Structure formats: structure tokens, C-alpha cells
Structure 1
């Protein structure tokens, strides 16, 4: 991977606006239109994983497991988007688009920082699935995640389980969003360690709470809606959101490419 920005990390912005979200989404669309093959490739991995997950739980007769698994599926989206951040970085820098360095972005800068973050994301997803199972056992001890669990969700206990599970899942998703939204593109762009990148990400969220809440909402609603038609909507939504997140990172570190 050609070198990106080095040296001390830039100060994170505290003046993000809702208009910035519109601008970064427009820039994300431009990046996707300019290099659609890369966006479709990474999105296809996500789509295939979702379909494989659905086929797996149906084959094992544990269809109700699909609900918590798919609810937590967006948790791993930031890691899938790492290659998209590299595409946007290269386009911004005027670098040639080659598969080697773009796929190599998943390895980071050879210091295993991206891999460490990926491992953390995977652990968070696994933790959510286990947590969702635990919540189901508390509210539906005689049904849980068995085959007839879908019908049980329509009961009073099932509705309560969904309410609690949704709140817990939202808190977990928000926490993971806060530490990855800026840190992952930063690790692509700068020679920093995970802790430095995470601190910058959390600071950005804390200093721009309303805007970042809106961005998290846009991501959640967009990915959720895109997963409904057999995950196929992700072929468009995931690349646009991924590229847009890169531009939001650039804006947050006061080195915007969207102005």
C-alpha cells in the first residue's frame, strides 16, 4: 500500500453538521460510480455471507437464530468496508486502482492493526449472538431459539424479549460504531496504532454527538432496508455507505476532500 498521511494525528473536528452528511453521501455515490467493480466485489462478500447464514440456520432447523444474527450483522460491516476506504483514498490521491493494494488494505500497513480491529469486531458480533441467546432464555425459557421460536415472538413474553434485545443490541452497536467509524479509515490512511485511532473515533463522536447519531441512524436504516430483498440491496448501499464513511473521516480530521 502506498504511504498515506504520516506524523501526528490531526485534531478531530467539533463542528460537523447535518449538511456534511449530505456531502459525504454524495461523495460516496461519486466514488462508487467511478469504481463500481470494487464496491460490488466487497458488497458481494457481505451478501454471500448473509445468504450462507440464512441457509445454515434453516438447514440446522434453528431458523429463529437468524433474527439475532441478522440484527447484529451490520456490526461487521465496517470491517468489510476497509477495502472501500482504500479505493476512496486512492481515488482522492490520484493513485492507480489495482486489486493488489486494495485487497492488501485488509492487512493494514503491515503492523496488524487492521487485523486486530477485525478480530475485535468479530468478537463483538459473537458476543451479541450469545447475548441475544441469553436474553431469549430469560424471557422464553421453554422455547428459546428452537424452531418454533418465531411463533413465540408474537406472545407477550416474546414482544418483551424483542424490546429488551433491541435496546441491548442498540447500545452494543452504538459502542462499536463509536470506536470504529473513524478508527478504521484512519488506520488505512495513517501510521497510527489501534488505541490512537479508537481515541480519535470516540472523540469525534463525543464532540459531534447529534450528527454522529444521525449518521449511525442512516447506516442502520439503510443497511436494514437493503437486507430485506434477500440482501441484494447491499450491493448498492454498502459501497455508498463505505465510501461516504471515508469522506466523513476526512472531514472529521479537518482534511476534507468533499468541500
Structure 2
């Protein structure tokens, strides 16, 4: 799509979404995601490894600073960045489905999108959202920390009533923020990898998919959240497998919820009567 066309919302392609997804579809996409991971495990382990090392680094920085107040919101908000990290995985699944050759250049190049910075625009929103959550989470931590009378460098906070209340309030606020960003990206990022659309069109399509299939898409959010949380527990090691499988599965979910683009209608020129 030309740059001038992107400035005019009336010219943005309108995507249609299904409204009849069932829970069994989630089992189907998970199975497809596992197949993609097994077939191209080298790519999957690479992207999962980046997330793993990033988690280690984030934890090390917060612990070295001796400020647990940053560790909790950082760990809770870390999964917000997973969709953007999974863009390369979407490209792998796309190429496998289309029987296109796979190469590191093509897969890593997916982060550039189609050369129009649409994917990077969504990435910027996600990173800003992550920073916003860090500030909110740190604020919640500080409020309950003051009530407990325990220093910020001590994990003993979590043995107090204030500590448990902080976890409940922080988890509730974090879950609301995480679901918003999930709704914004679960369909939009795979769509930007697959189609030449504006990032706002992709985001609106993602919200439409959530609205049209509330039960199934909320169930998928719960599966993603539970899986990523479980993967974080053993020193982030579970991310090596969980992240790529979920990334591939999300691609397949996008493919079944967003209907194919209609074929272009060819209009024949009018036949002029013979002179």
C-alpha cells in the first residue's frame, strides 16, 4: 500500500473475522504450534533463548541494585514483551505454511515488517506500555512497603499481610494491563507479518477478534498467561520451549480467526460498438 494511502483510513483494507471459534480450536492451534517448533527447533530455541537471557539480565540488574521493589513489577510485566519477540516465529510459521524457504535473514528481517515500520510502531507501543506498568507496579509496591515497615532490599515483605495484599492488588492491576495489550497484539502482529496493512487496522482487527470470540480468546489469554508464568518459575528455562510453541500457535490462531482476503475483482473494460 502506498504511503499516501496509509494516511487515509478510508483506504485501509478491512479485514473480516470469524465469530464462531470453539475451545477445540485452541487445541488445534497448540498442536500446530508444537509441530512448527519441532520442525524448526533451532529457530525456536534461538528466540526462546533471547527471552531467557533477557529475563536473567533483568533479574540480575534488579537484585544487584538491592531493590526488590523493581524486581516484582519487572517480572510480572516481562511477558508483555513476548508478542513482539515472537514476530520471527510468526514469519517461520508463515513460510512453512506457504512452503517458502527459511533463512536467518528472512526470519530476522520480519521485525522490519514490509519496510514500512508498522511492526516497529506496535513494538514501540509495547515498550512504552511495559515502562508504564513498571512505574505503576513500583508505585503499588512502595505503598504497601511503607505499611510493612520493611526495607525494600528484603524479601521478608512477602511474609507480611501488607506483602500479600500488595501481590493481590498488583496482580489484579497487572492482569488488566496485560489483557489490554494481549487484545491489542494477539492478532495484529501476526497480521502485520502476513498482510500489507496499517498497524491501526491490524490493532482494530485484533480487538474485533476478541469481541467476536470473547470466550475462546479469553481462554487463549489464560493459557498464554499460565504457560508463561509456569515457564518463568524454573529460572526462566521453560521459555526455551513455551515461548516458541505459543508464538507458532498464535500464528495459527490468527489464520483461523481472520478470514482470507477476498480475491480482487477484475472489471473488463466496456466494449465499444463498432463504428
TM range (shorter): over 0.9
Which residue does the alignment assign to 1:136? 141
Alpha-carbon distance, 1:84 to partner: 0.1
- Do the aligned partners of 2:88 and 2:110 also contact (CA within 8 Å) in 1? yes
Distance 1:76 1:30 in 2: 24
Aligned-partner Cα distance in 1 for 2:199–2:103: 26
Structure number with greater Rg is: 2
- The Cα shift of 1:25 comes to 0.3
**SS in structure 1 opposite 2:100?**
coil
Q: Which 4+ runs in 1 deviate beyond 6 A?
A: none
Is 1:84 equivalent to 2:62 in the alignment? Answer: no
Computed over aligned residues only, the root mean square deviation of the Cα atoms, in angstroms, reads 1.4
1:124-167 deviations in Å (ceiling 9; x for gaps): 1111111011112222226587202x212322222211111111
Q: CA deviation at 1:64?
A: 4.2
Alignment-derived partner of residue 127 in structure 2? 122
Query: Is residue 171 of structure 2 the alignment partner of residue 166 of structure 1?
Result: yes
State the number of aligned residues. Answer: 248
For structure 2, the residue ranges without an aligned partner over 5 or more in a row are 1-11, 261-275
Question: 1:29·1:243 contact (CA, 8 Å) conserved in 2?
Answer: yes
TM-score between both structures, scaled by the size of structure 2:
0.87
Whole-angstrom distance in 2 between the partners of 1:67 and 1:77:
17
Check whether the contact 2:47–2:85 (CA below 8 A) recurs between aligned residues.
yes
On the 8 A contact 1:186/1:249 being kept in 2, the answer is: yes
What is the 5 A alignment of 1:106-121? 106-121=111-126
In structure 2, C-alpha distance between the alignment counterparts of 1:54 and 1:10, rounded to whole Å: 40
Could you say what secondary structure the match of 2:115 adopts?
coil
Residue 106 of structure 2 is matched in structure 1 by: 101
Partner Cα separation in structure 1 for residue 249 and residue 16 of structure 2 = 20
Query: Does the residue aligned with 1:249 lie in a helix, a strand or coil?
Result: helix
Aligned partner of 2:184 among 173, 179, 188: 179
Residue segments in structure 1 that go unaligned for 5+ positions in a row: 1-6
